[in-house]
A and B are shown apart, each in its own frame.
Chain A
Amino acid sequence: MNEYRKIEVIVGVFVLIGVMSISWLALKLGQVGGLGQDGYELVAIFEDAGGVREGSDIMLAGVSIGQVKSVVLRNNKEAEMHFQINNGVKLATDATVAIRTKGLIGEKFVRVNQGFEEDYLAAGDEFEDTESAINIEDLISKYIFSGDAK
């Protein structure tokens, strides 16, 4: 029985190491269990979502302050985005949002420009001013046609 007891202990340690590995993967890499999920929600209406998707970053001064929760079509013409902003981040009521690209061909993210008002946006509020994605094709065509006009 003594030998069996030893086996039991070793198997226990083995299972513990395995379970710890799985939970490390899930918690650290998978970000499961709603870690970092708390915060408040803000709404922004864009003319053109320009490739921002659920899970895209929201940056203020280059620091990630939240994630895009959903992107849906509104009134058959505009994109309505719901942002999940981390608790503790306060945005002035006249803060603006713009869609930008990481690098030249990187992924899209939402950039927030802090405003100057004394009041802060509360959960469920809508951004006053939004700036849609800069479309490279639009820029090029604008450049070509402006060249024609001369």
Chain B
Amino acid sequence: MKAVTNFFGGFGRTVLHVIEKMGDATMYGVSTVALFFVPPWQGQHFIRQMYALGVGSMVIIIITGAFTGMVLALQGYHMLVKVGTESLLGPAVALSIIRELGPVLAALMFVGRAGSSITAEIGIMRVTEQMDSLEMMAVNPRSRVLLTRIIASALSLPLLVAIFDVVGLFAGYVIGVEMLGVNGGVYMGETIDKIDMVDISVGVTKSIYFGFLIGVICTFMGYRATATTEGVAKATTQAVMICSVMVLILDYIITSFYL
């Protein structure tokens, strides 16, 4: 009897804990984003965050995009050439990148590069009581430290995804046309023909949601981290894990809405 209650009790406790965390995160997200409408606006800090998160992630995004496009073209070509439809290589590469791989891979790289640094930075600010000292100086740490990062993340990820898409398409073109010998005109023509505005808007919509989600989760995890070295380390790992899983889940949900 004891073992049974222990088992179900433990299970229930975990579920309640998760629900509590989710509620806390939602409340936190709403109240922080609401600060957007409260002056003073932290324009300078926002620009600094755009630099740290957006510009800082550009190199890794370009590398990921280039190799994604290249491998898609290479793999796609060897599959399509078996049925003699290598003219569809362009649309195959472009559709996969614009609709799915661009937003998801860029978001995952962004989580690794920028999301983890957000959580760690805010966590350490908590450990060293910088948040409290900001408050002492009558500066709202939520609007200066947290909100700027959330907005910078939500704005810079769509831009990064667009760069990822363009680099990926270009790399796919180079491999498909220059290396594998697909006709360049056919490649571009079929791509332009098969890609609709819907595909592009799906990709952009996804990236805005992902960016916002990553910003909220990573700042939340840092803000609520236990104020110890260990706590920050744990929060950072968890933030990256939760963001990655949430990106994949949200990706499925948004895709299913658009089909």
A residues contacting B by CB (< 8 A) are: 4, 7-8, 10-11, 14-15, 17-19, 21-22, 24-26, 28-32
User: How many CB-defined contacts (below 8 Å) exist between A and B?
Assistant: 71
By a CB distance below 8 angstroms, the chain B residues around A26 are: 197, 200
Q: Is the CB of A25 within 8 A of B192?
A: no
Secondary structure class of chain B's binding surface, majority of residues: helix
- Across the interface, B192 reaches (CB within 8 A) one of A7, A10, A31, A32, namely A31
Q: Is the CB of B195 within 8 A of A11?
A: no
Secondary structure class of chain A's binding surface, majority of residues: helix
By a CB distance below 8 angstroms, the chain B residues around A29 are: 94, 98, 191-192, 195, 199-200
B residues contacting A by CB (< 8 A) are: 44, 47-48, 50-51, 54-55, 58, 94, 98, 156, 158-160, 162-163, 165-166, 191-192, 195-197, 199-201, 204
- Using A10-B51, A11-B55, A14-B58 as known contacts, say yes or no to A24 and B166 having CB atoms under 8 A apart: yes
By a CB distance below 8 angstroms, the chain A residues around B165 are: 21, 25
A8 to B166, CA, bound (A): 24
Q: Is the CB of A18 within 8 A of B158?
A: yes
Q: Is the CB of B159 within 8 A of A15?
A: yes
Q: Is the CB of B195 within 8 A of A21?
A: no
Q: Is the CB of A18 within 8 A of B160?
A: yes
A25 to B196, CA, bound (A): 10
